[in-house]
Structure 1
Amino acid sequence: MDFDRPERDRLVLGVPRAAFRPSPIFLALLALFVVSGILGWRGTGNVRLSVFLFVVSGWLVSLCLHEYAHAVVAFRAGDRTVAHRGYLTLNPLKYSHPLLSIVFPVLAVLLGGIGLPGGAVWVDRHAIPGRLRHTLVSFAGPATNVVFALVLAAPFVLGVDPYGHIEFWFGVAALGFLQLTASLLNLLPVPGLDGGNIIEPWLSPQWRRMYDLFAPYGFLLLVALLWNPRLGGWFFDGVDALADLIGLPPDFAAYGLRLMRFWEG
């Protein structure tokens, strides 16, 4: 198809530029994250509610960025369908299942302080050549959580004095803790989740058939593992060790997760 110059300028690799424009929903979440952070910093109004909004909106922003990372790497690797499905607009409602993508992960944050894997983008794997590209598509999402965790830990590493705005820093530490849990969970080699999808292209055909058999139940397997007291304890011990390693104070994270439950009084 032959386009004139203005039309070509509105296209990126054959996809309209509107497919790359951040959605109003994402921009609203980002604005809520910033405003609640400012309120928490200033101690204005109900600080516990501000910390709640800061952590939850920050978590939802990170979910959007996680899935966007999958989609943009898939797009660059050759899958144009992610653009047509709206995945490059950072709209969380475009993910595979709003209940599993948004509601359930937020409940896990509120009730258990766990950053469960959220929504998923459907990638046309047949459009992407090469095993390495498939691995990079799967790795891009967890890498976003790792970067987010390091950014949130940076002020503590750089020696910020948290006691002048302690509720705000409790919220920062809590959000960083959630990013660490999400990073670790997403990198576990569980079939159907990002960690499993990272290694799946490199499996032999026999192991790949077994992987495909268990992949639909990977999320349930993950929940069952965390439900086990011993395994769940090992997991959180590992997260605490990672928090110490990157300079994120686990006690601040614990206070932040407690503080954001404003309904408990």
Structure 2
Amino acid sequence: MDRTFTSFSAFVLLGVVAADLRQALIFVVCLVVATAFHEFAHAFAADRLGDPTPGRDGRLTLNPLAHADPVGTIGLPLMAGLLHLPLFGWGRPVMTQPRFYTRGMSMRAGMALVSFAGPLANVLQATVTLLAIKLLLVAGVEHKGLFEVLVLFFTLNLTLAVFNLLPVHPLDGGKILAWALPARFSHIDDTLARYGWTILLALMLIPGLLQTLFTPVGIVRDWALRLVVG
């Protein structure tokens, strides 16, 4: 069985640092939910294209436990909370085999479609969360703790979507780029595939690099929240 893509789904939230275990627990709950929808979207897209692998592996479900990684989704975020480190994590990748995809499209196109489904699910979650915040405000609900959780979930989904769309393997964006690039530029995709993990580690380990990269996401987040709050 080949793992045709790995939705690593790692991220450092924009300015969100674990102050205590409570914050980490809230983050873990939000991460588990966001990851479940993200990975289910991958599984659903692959299944609709004719690949039985996600269903056989029990991934064609919204059950969060089916998509959570014991280390990346739970262990490391809790440890970060205890050590007052930046919060980060990832979900368990969905296995898929493009050879089963319908012949109505190229294999690369199918892989790109399956890959794009994950970030799209996060965008949809962010949109629904924003609407929920608006409805609560219109209803006159004033609960600081609830709004903090919703803003965290909104930020998490935006960050997860953008991070996974970075054009680097093994992220979703790597498969999308591989499909979008003309054949004469395939060497670019080969290079990004060869050094993908090195690039990701550099993003994660070089102080301030990832935060700087996600500055536009923070701007969009703040703009959207101001628009909703009015």
- Is 2:170–2:197's contact at 8 Å kept on the other side of the alignment? yes
CA distance in 1: counterparts of 2:224 and 2:155, whole angstroms = 11
CA distance in 2: counterparts of 1:221 and 1:65, whole angstroms = 26
Higher helix share: 1
| Equivalent residue number for residue 127 of structure 2 | 150
Q: Secondary structure at the match of 1:176?
A: helix
CA distance in 2: counterparts of 1:102 and 1:211, whole angstroms = 32
CA distance in 1: counterparts of 2:195 and 2:80, whole angstroms = 18
Q: Mind listing any 5+ residue stretches in structure 1 that lack a counterpart?
A: 1-47, 250-265
- Is 1:154–1:247's contact at 8 Å kept on the other side of the alignment? no
| Equivalent residue number for residue 178 of structure 2 | 200
Kindly report which structure 2 residues correspond to 1:19-30, keeping only aligned pairs within 5 A, or say none.
Answer: none
Change (3 A) 1:140 1:108: farther
Pair 1:63 & 2:44 matched: no
Kindly report which structure 2 residues correspond to 1:1-265, keeping only aligned pairs within 5 A, or say none.
Answer: 53-91=25-63, 94=66, 98-100=70-72, 102-104=74-76, 111-114=85-88, 116-128=89-101, 129=103, 130-131=105-106, 132-157=109-134, 160=137, 164-204=142-182, 207-208=185-186, 211=189, 214-215=192-193, 218-247=196-225
Q: Mind listing any 5+ residue stretches in structure 2 that lack a counterpart?
A: 1-19
Q: 156-165 or 235-244: which moved more?
A: 156-165
Change (3 A) 1:206 1:126: farther
CA distance in 1: counterparts of 2:201 and 2:80, whole angstroms = 10
Q: For the aligned residues, what is the CA RMSD?
A: 3.4
- Is 2:53–2:97's contact at 8 Å kept on the other side of the alignment? yes
- Is 2:165–2:172's contact at 8 Å kept on the other side of the alignment? yes
Q: 173-182 or 100-109: which moved more?
A: 100-109
- Is 1:226–1:232's contact at 8 Å kept on the other side of the alignment? yes
CA distance in 1: counterparts of 2:72 and 2:22, whole angstroms = 25
| Equivalent residue number for residue 5 of structure 2 | none
Change (3 A) 1:164 1:242: same
The residue type paired with residue 121 of structure 1 is V
- Is 1:51–1:168's contact at 8 Å kept on the other side of the alignment? no
Q: Secondary structure at the match of 1:112?
A: coil
CA distance in 2: counterparts of 1:106 and 1:90, whole angstroms = 23
Report the TM-score, using the length of structure 1 for normalisation.
Answer: 0.62
- Is 1:192–1:216's contact at 8 Å kept on the other side of the alignment? no
Residues 84-120 of structure 1, C-alpha deviation per residue, up to 9 Å, x if partnerless? Answer: 1111134556559643465446656883244x54321
Q: How far apart are 1:58 and its partner, in Å?
A: 2.6
The residue type paired with residue 247 of structure 1 is L
- Is 1:77–1:133's contact at 8 Å kept on the other side of the alignment? yes
4+ runs deviating over 6 angstroms: 48-51
CA distance in 1: counterparts of 2:154 and 2:163, whole angstroms = 14
- Is 2:115–2:172's contact at 8 Å kept on the other side of the alignment? yes
Q: Secondary structure at the match of 2:93?
A: coil
| Equivalent residue number for residue 12 of structure 2 | none
Change (3 A) 1:236 1:135: closer
CA distance in 2: counterparts of 1:210 and 1:74, whole angstroms = 26
- Is 2:24–2:78's contact at 8 Å kept on the other side of the alignment? no
Identity of aligned residues (%): 33
CA distance in 2: counterparts of 1:210 and 1:83, whole angstroms = 33
Report the TM-score, using the length of structure 2 for normalisation.
Answer: 0.70
Q: Secondary structure at the match of 2:143?
A: helix
